[in-house]
Amino acid sequence: MRYLSVLFFYLSTVSYFVTFVFYLLYVVLGSSQRERRLGETLGIVAAGVSEGLSQIAWGVWATRALLVSIAISTIGVIARAIELGNASQWVKIVLLPLSTTYETLTFFSWLIPLIYFVMERKFQIKQVGVFVTGAAFVMLSVAASPSLAPSAPTGVPASLQSYWLTIHVLFMVIGIAFFTSGFGATLVYLWRRYEKKLFLLFGALLGALATIIFIVVPLFGTLQFEKMLASGALLAALCAGFGWLLLFVHREGQPVAWERLENIEEMVYRCNALGFPFYAIGGLVFGGIWAEQAWSRYWGWDPKETAMLVTALVYAVYLHARLTWGARDPGWRGGLVAWLSVLGYLAVLYAWIGINYFVASLHSFV
Predicted confidence at residue 259, as pLDDT, reads 57
Q: Find the range with the poorest average confidence among 61-70, 87-96, 103-112, 254-263.
A: 87-96
Q: Where are the domains of the chain?
A: 1-156, 159-195+254-366
Examine the pLDDT at 147 and tell me if it is beyond 80.
no
Confidence of residue 112 (pLDDT cuts 50, 70, 90): very high
Q: Find the range with the poorest average confidence among 141-155, 206-220, 247-261.
A: 247-261
Picking from 90, 97, 87, 93, the residue whose alpha carbon sits closest to that of residue 143 is: 97
Give the 3-state secondary structure percentages of the chain, helix then strand then coil, rounded to 5. 80, 0, 20
Q: Mean pLDDT over residues 274-302, rounded?
A: 84
Predicted confidence at residue 48, as pLDDT, reads 44
Rounded to whole angstroms, the Cα distance separating 317 from 149 reads 39
Task: Give the pLDDT confidence of 324-357 residue by residue, as tens digits.
Answer: 876 666 666 666 788 889 989 988 988 888 777 6
Does this model's pTM top 0.85? My answer is: no
Predicted confidence at residue 258, as pLDDT, reads 54
Predicted confidence at residue 43, as pLDDT, reads 45
In order, the DSSP letters of 37-72 are HHHHHHT---SS--HHHHTS-HHHHHHHHHHHHHHH
Q: What is the mean pLDDT of the chain?
A: 79
Confidence of residue 31 (pLDDT cuts 50, 70, 90): very low
Predicted confidence at residue 45, as pLDDT, reads 43
Examine the pLDDT at 301 and tell me if it is beyond 80.
no
| SS3 of residue 117 by DSSP | helix
Measured distance between the N- and C-terminal CA atoms of the chain, rounded to whole angstroms: 23
Examine the pLDDT at 156 and tell me if it is beyond 80.
no
Predicted confidence at residue 295, as pLDDT, reads 74
Q: Mean pLDDT over residues 224-229, rounded?
A: 84
Of residues 276 and 363, more confidence is placed in 276
